[in-house]
Amino acid sequence: MRFKFFISLIIIVIGLGAASAQETPLSGVTIHVVQRGETLFDIARAHGLTIQALADLNNIANPNSIFVGQRLLVPSRNVAIAAPTDAVQPMPTPVFHIVRSGETLFQIAQRYGLTVSALASANSISDPSLIYSGQRLLIPPRESAAVESAGAPLPSPLMSIEIYPRRIQDGQSARFTLTASAPITVTGIFLNRAFVAASENGSLTAIALVGVPVGTASGEYPLQFNISSSRGQQRLETMVRVEGKAYRREFINVLGDRTSLLDPATDEAELNILRTVMSAFNPERYFGGLMGLPAAAGISSPFGSLRTYAGSDLQRIHTGTDFAGAPGSPIIAPASGRVVLADTLNIRGVATVIDHGWGIYTGYWHQSERYVSVGEFVTMGRIIGAIGSTGRVTGAHLHWELWVNGVPVDPMQWVGTAFAG
């Protein structure tokens, strides 16, 4: 078995067709952000590469000269980035297909549940008609799961349902794409949270982005779609597998004079402000492609660790990624959007929230200065503030947070994966 089917799908209401228009949002390369303590050897091994290959790809002359936060290109289609726990996941064994006489790339792609473009890009084939008998093709793992048939076709006007990524993990984002031959509007429920799907292509495509809360146990969870079209209302249900991810633990010493900020009531009140601002669904999309990094600095603390605080029983999940930038260094908008919060909060200090549309929000905490105000539209790459140490901190850093459909998730997934556009 070259890769595991992490998403098993059981059709409850109606059988679903296999005619899936799978997308391949990544090219054959993704980004790995170097974590503290990682060596080039670790990274190469985790991605099934030799050190030399990885060094060549990144123009690294001295393999000992990598640094925390450095972005390395890795030639893989389904490698999640960032968290050190990713490094220990076994890579699937490569599978090859030997082209037989008369076979087309399309036939081979179909056989392995791939798009022609995914198969072509995995093999650096620019013209899909130019394959030859005896050629050895690398079969990349499928990135997403099509909801597969239990016999009957999808109910009209639905043409396909795709779930991405194939392996959904807690603390991560997921996407459900429905295509149809006539306009549809789609809402649904996953992990007991309602979601609204955005519309594209004249409502022939509906795309829902959801966040899987950190701590969601491994298991099968129902996913429900409510689809309305000119044919009326339809409900589809399927089961989706979520895999638990091992996040690390951290012990935090808060600066002495700020221990009052550990009061759980303070926490809850402030979190409620964020919930109000960062949970609404905006049908307009301002982001597209990969997100940039919000600071030119190394990551000092990854998303998802369980934190305990000195002199307190308080435990908190770290709901963002920390960048250890020098005080005063710039904070850069990693994607375009509209500023919906620009305030000074007790715990988060000088804070900014950007609405990127489709239920995607990013937050920037502990700033020394803020250069944007509520209502302002910022384009990707704009400097929106400066790194500081305001709020509940142990030192200057940027805390970068990303919410999807009201759930804080790992923002670094968005630096390596284009969820839309």
Binding mask 310-329 for Zn ion (x = CB under 5 A): ----------x-x-------
Structure tokens at 299: 């990551």
* Contact residues for 397 (Cβ-Cβ < 8 A; gap 6+): 300, 301, 322, 323, 324, 325, 366, 387, 389
SS3 247: coil
- For Zn ion, which is the closer residue by CB, 47 or 399? 399
Residue 99: count other Cβ atoms within 10 Å of its Cβ.
Answer: 17
- For Zn ion, which is the closer residue by CB, 330 or 408? 408
Cα distance between residue 345 and residue 311, in whole Å: 22
SS3 337: strand
Q: What minimum distance in Å lies between the beta carbon of 391 and Zn ion?
A: 10
Chain residues 208-247 in contact with Zn ion, contact rule CB under 5 A: none
Q: What minimum distance in Å lies between the beta carbon of 419 and Zn ion?
A: 22
Q: What minimum distance in Å lies between the beta carbon of 399 and Zn ion?
A: 3
Cα distance between residue 227 and residue 130, in whole Å: 41
399 binds Zn ion (CB under 5 A): yes
Region of 19-27, 109-117, 388-396, 398-406 interacting with Zn ion (CB under 5 A): 398-406
Q: What minimum distance in Å lies between the beta carbon of 393 and Zn ion?
A: 8
Cα distance between residue 232 and residue 242, in whole Å: 31
* Contact residues for 317 (Cβ-Cβ < 8 A; gap 6+): 214, 215, 247, 304, 305, 306, 307
Residues in the chain: 421
Q: What minimum distance in Å lies between the beta carbon of 255 and Zn ion?
A: 14
- For Zn ion, which is the closer residue by CB, 155 or 304? 304
Q: What is the DSSP letter of 215?
A: T
Q: What is the DSSP letter of 204?
A: T
On whether the CB atoms of residues 11 and 151 are closer than 8 A, the answer is no
Strands in 321-359 per DSSP E: 321-323, 330-332, 337-345, 349-357
Binding mask 30-69 for Zn ion (x = CB under 5 A): ----------------------------------------
Chain residues 259-288 in contact with Zn ion, contact rule CB under 5 A: none
* Contact residues for 139 (Cβ-Cβ < 8 A; gap 6+): 2, 94, 95, 96, 97, 112, 114, 119, 122
Number of residues that bind Zn ion (CB under 5 A): 3
Q: What minimum distance in Å lies between the beta carbon of 418 and Zn ion?
A: 25
257 Rama class: left (phi>0) / alpha (psi -120 to 50) / beta: alpha
On whether the CB atoms of residues 368 and 317 are closer than 8 A, the answer is no
- For Zn ion, which is the closer residue by CB, 190 or 323? 323
Structure tokens at 257: 């004079």
**Closest residue (Cβ) to Zn ion?**
399
- For Zn ion, which is the closer residue by CB, 322 or 355? 322
- For Zn ion, which is the closer residue by CB, 194 or 310? 310
Q: What minimum distance in Å lies between the beta carbon of 83 and Zn ion?
A: 14
On whether the CB atoms of residues 100 and 85 are closer than 8 A, the answer is no
Q: What minimum distance in Å lies between the beta carbon of 116 and Zn ion?
A: 42
Region of 43-51, 131-139, 346-354, 399-407 interacting with Zn ion (CB under 5 A): 399-407
- For Zn ion, which is the closer residue by CB, 264 or 289? 264
- For Zn ion, which is the closer residue by CB, 270 or 322? 322
- For Zn ion, which is the closer residue by CB, 115 or 321? 321
Q: What minimum distance in Å lies between the beta carbon of 398 and Zn ion?
A: 8
Region of 114-122, 202-210, 345-353, 392-400 interacting with Zn ion (CB under 5 A): 392-400
Residues near Zn ion (CB under 5 A): 320, 322, 399
